[in-house]
């Protein structure tokens, strides 16, 4: 018997009846098996580009889950953590944020849960939360405060924004606590296995303005002092930008999925990277405890991995790259890339987005100084790559392209990929898609291939 390749197999399926396509054992053995084999061999990255900000966000969730309703439940508490410390492209694109919130609120089957949009701007008083005029130029239409107000004014009292603050700046509202009995910070202690440096890796316990429940980012949702079974979803929603200026790298490299954890933890003393009692923080770059400059970048990524182990790994990472700041995170030297990326691990997503979205848009006049935006350039001295590798050392993600599978949807030339067919068949078998949904997708695949 001759072997048939997968593309030819799907084309032949268009000649079958719906019942043969869905009910035949050949699908059980061939198509459904592929989704399991792929997940064991590679980290999947889902990319949507050239749609509207909302379309791009919706599409990557469709590509991974077959629809937001297969990820977010009807009663879930959803924590969304954006970048919000800087204006312009330094804040997560507001259009992407609106697209995500709208897709949750309008999920098939309804939504009775709540959404908390939270971030700690650290030493910056307001950041993108109150940006206006020029600060909104590439990230509008709203700043974060106005975006939340707009939802509230339109009847969505279950959508709220919370600017977390350091305990040192607001001891009454954000005290240091030992258990989730009130809102505040729980300071988890961790010792780096490579440098021996002692850290605090704090996580917040948040009081919901809507339900008055306490949400421990580690444990879940508390009500009346008791941990409930209410599902908690944690979405990390960074942007994609160079942390330096004029396309050169600085101590932090690119600020995106990995480094964005600085916006969900507590840094007691800003860039000094140390708490008053001597513990290190995620902002480790000025601390000689870790060794050289490059070792300090690695230490930040290592600590991010440790934070995910000791506290909570986000359920998904959604990187906004509507504008990519190759020059800086708040200057005019940015390119409209109209892209979002979705992945399970921050290091994998950072590697792909830096190499294939940010680095390629460098102007010719900046390609020399911008070489470090490519995570494969001068790896030992590449701050971005060292941060990525530090995170990988804790078991999160990969920088090996042989272990990545990227699925890209371009609204300028839309296509269907085979992974989407696999997923749609899986959803059908689970009762979450119709037979016609599968047939339509196969026909669409065949028309473009």
Tens of pLDDT, residue by residue over 241-276, are: 999 899 999 888 899 999 999 999 999 987 677 999
Name the least confident of 40-44, 165-169, 349-353, 374-378: 40-44
How many whole angstroms separate alpha carbon 60 and alpha carbon 252?
Answer: 28
Query: Do the domain assignments include residue 422?
Result: no
The model's pTM: 0.90
Residue at 405 is within a domain: yes
pLDDT of 398 > 50? The answer is yes
Which residues span the domain enclosing 297? 41-414
pLDDT one-digit tens code per residue, 87-122: 888 999 999 999 999 999 999 999 999 999 999 988
**Has residue 36 been placed in a domain?**
no
pLDDT single digits (tens) 147-167? 999 999 999 999 999 999 999
Over residues 384-402, mean pLDDT: 96
**258 with 346: CB under 8 angstroms?**
yes
Output the pLDDT for position 57: 98
Percent of the chain scored above 90 by pLDDT?
69
Mean pLDDT of 279-286: 84
Tell me the C-alpha to C-alpha distance, in Å, between residue 108 and each of 38, 68, 97, 100, 227.
28, 8, 19, 14, 28
Q: In 3-state terms, the chain is what percent helix, strand and coil (to 5)?
A: 40, 20, 40
Task: Name the 3-class secondary structure at 214.
Answer: strand
> 207-216, 273-282, 362-371: lowest mean pLDDT where?
273-282
Residue 20 lies in a domain: no
Please, what is the angle between helix 53-65 and helix 418-429, to 10°?
Answer: 60
386-402: b (≥16 Cβ within 10 Å) or e: bbbbbbbbbebbbbeee
Q: How many domains does the chain have?
A: 1
User: Strands 220-223 and 203-207: what pairing?
Assistant: unpaired
Mean pLDDT lowest for which of 164-168, 297-301, 360-364, 439-443?
439-443
In a domain, 425, yes or no: no
Mean pLDDT check: name the lowest of 47-61, 64-78, 172-186, 251-265: 251-265
What is the rounded distance in angstroms from the CA atom of residue 280 to the CA atom of residue 263?
16
pLDDT band for 25, please (50, 70, 90 cuts): very low
- Give pLDDT, residue 27: 45
- In DSSP terms, 221 is beta-bridged to 215
pLDDT for res 439: 83
Strand boundaries in 59-145, DSSP class E: 77-82, 114-120
State the Cα–Cα distance between residues 55 and 49, nearest whole angstrom. Answer: 9
Residue 439 lies in a domain: no
pLDDT of residue 40: 53
What value does the mean pLDDT take over residues 314-321? 98
Q: What is the pLDDT of residue 41?
A: 60
Judged by average pLDDT, the poorest of 129-133, 258-262, 293-297 is 293-297
Residue 209, domain member (yes or no): yes
Whether residue 346 has pLDDT greater than 50: yes
Give the whole-angstrom CA distance, residue 83 versus residue 62.
24
Asked if residue 121 belongs to a domain, the reply is yes
Residue 44: name the closest of 338, 359, 398, 390 by CA: 398
- Phi/psi of residue 360, each to 5°? -65, -15
pLDDT at residue 426 in the model: 83
Residue 385 pLDDT > 60: yes
In this prediction, residue 6 has a pLDDT band, given cuts at 50, 70 and 90, of very low
Q: Write down the number of H helices and E strands in the chain.
A: 12, 18
């Amino acid at each position: 018997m001759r072997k048939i390749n997968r593309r030819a197999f799907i084309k032949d399926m268009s000649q079958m009846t719906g019942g043969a396509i869905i009910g035949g054992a050949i699908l059980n053995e061939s198509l459904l098996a592929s989704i399991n084999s792929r997940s064991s061999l590679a980290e999947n990255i889902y990319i949507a580009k050239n749609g509207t900000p909302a379309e791009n966000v919706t599409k990557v969730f469709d590509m991974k889950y077959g629809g937001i309703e297969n990820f977010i439940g009807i009663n879930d508490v959803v924590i969304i953590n954006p970048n919000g410390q800087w204006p312009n492209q330094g804040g997560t694109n507001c259009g992407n944020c609106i697209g995500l919130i709208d897709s949750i609120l309008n999920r098939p089957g309804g939504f009775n849960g709540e959404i908390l949009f939270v971030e700690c701007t650290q030493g910056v008083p307001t950041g993108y939360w109150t940006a206006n005029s020029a600060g909104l130029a590439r990230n509008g239409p709203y700043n974060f405060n106005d975006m939340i107000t707009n939802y509230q004014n339109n009847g969505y009292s279950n959508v709220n924004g919370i600017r977390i603050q350091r305990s040192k700046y607001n001891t009454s509202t954000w005290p240091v606590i030992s258990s989730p009995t009130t809102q505040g910070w729980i300071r988890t202690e961790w010792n780096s296995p490579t440098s021996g440096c002692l850290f605090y890796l704090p996580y917040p316990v948040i009081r919901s303005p809507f339900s008055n429940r306490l949400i421990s980012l580690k444990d879940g949702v508390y009500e009346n002092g008791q941990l409930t079974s209410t599902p908690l979803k944690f979405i990390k929603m960074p942007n994609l930008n160079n942390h330096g200026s004029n396309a050169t790298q600085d101590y932090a490299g690119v600020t995106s999925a990995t480094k964005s954890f600085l916006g969900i933890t507590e840094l007691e003393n800003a860039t000094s990277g140390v708490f008053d009692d001597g513990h290190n923080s995620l902002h480790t770059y000025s601390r000689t405890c870790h060794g050289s400059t490059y070792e300090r970048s690695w230490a930040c990524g290592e600590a991010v991995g440790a934070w995910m182990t000791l506290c909570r790994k986000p359920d998904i990472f959604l990187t906004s790259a509507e504008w990519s700041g190759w020059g800086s995170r708040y200057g005019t030297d940015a390119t409209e890339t109209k892209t979002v990326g979705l992945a399970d691990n921050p290091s994998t997503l950072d590697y792909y987005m830096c190499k294939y979205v940010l680095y390629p848009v460098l102007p010719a006049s900046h390609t020399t100084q911008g070489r470090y935006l490519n995570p494969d350039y001068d790896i030992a001295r590449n701050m971005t790559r060292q941060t990525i590798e530090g995170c990988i050392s804790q078991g999160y993600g990969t920088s090996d392209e042989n272990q990545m599978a990227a699925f890209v949807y371009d609204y300028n030339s839309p296509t269907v990929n085979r992974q989407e067919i696999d997923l749609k068949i899986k959803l059908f078998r689970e009762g979450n898609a119709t037979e016609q949904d599968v047939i339509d997708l196969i026909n669409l695949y065949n028309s473009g291939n």
